[in-house]
Amino acid sequence: MSSDSSAAAAALGEAGLQALMGSALPVGLALIDRELCFVAINAMLAEANGLGVDAHLGRTVCEVFPLAADAVDPLLRGVLDSGEARRDVRVAAEVPSLPGEPSDWDASCLAVTGLDGEVIGVLVQALNLSLERQNWRLK
């Protein structure tokens, strides 16, 4: 691939990521780097977590969710280390949107690889089932 093609592919990837994270898709998405820091997160997942988008960016999962780290860190590390996706994983973790009680989450994690094939991060799709049930009861 030429350097022009590589630059174009990188620009397309960045634009695609921004479009995905900025969209109103009804699914929670986050991009996590190898240090388990939030690189990007969409509004849907940020809201389900009970924090704003900016409260996540550049911070580790443990910093943002100290009570959830024991449940989430091993899942993310496993994907980073193996490069294998984990789909439809149930996780119980307390987050600010429902303080004082563990939330039931359905999550899928996909390894993100760089141009050299090395795993450079994890794309997370997550749904706070407890929050969804609570919102459904309120309707």
| Ramachandran assignment for 117, one of left (phi > 0), alpha (psi -120 to 50 degrees), beta (any other) | left
Alpha carbon of residue 66 to chain centroid: 16
* CATH value at residue 40: 3.30.450.20
| Ramachandran assignment for 125, one of left (phi > 0), alpha (psi -120 to 50 degrees), beta (any other) | beta
pLDDT digits (tens, 9 = 90+) for 65-107: 888 888 899 999 999 999 999 999 998 888 777 778 888 889 9
Owning domain of residue 130: 3-138
Which residue type occupies 92? A
Which of 65, 124, 69, 76 shows the shortest CA–CA distance to 98?
A: 65
pLDDT of the residue at 124: 95
**pTM of the entire predicted model:** 0.83
pLDDT of the residue at 137: 67
Residue 91 tokens read as 């996780």
